[in-house]
Amino acid sequence: MEHVLGFVALAAGLIIGLGAIGACIGIGLMGGKYIEASARQPELMNALQTKMFLLAGLIDAAFLIGVGIAMMFAFANPFQLA
């Protein structure tokens, strides 16, 4: 039984860790492309900034959904037998 709980803890750590890495890489790439695009066409900076913040929120939302699922497994473990 203890090995199942150990695997659940390992899975929760992987979900949070890999989700954080993915979100950081995604936001970093998006920010770099925003800087490049606004340097090429400064007149579009406001429209690009709005789209960039919208995408940043969606990237963070996907990561936070993963955190919520990991917390559900950690604290309300559906695999724990009575």
* Residues marked as catalytic: 60
Rounded to whole angstroms, what are the CA distances from 51 to 21, 33, 58? 22, 12, 11
d(CA 11, CA 7): 6
d(CA 71, CA 8): 10
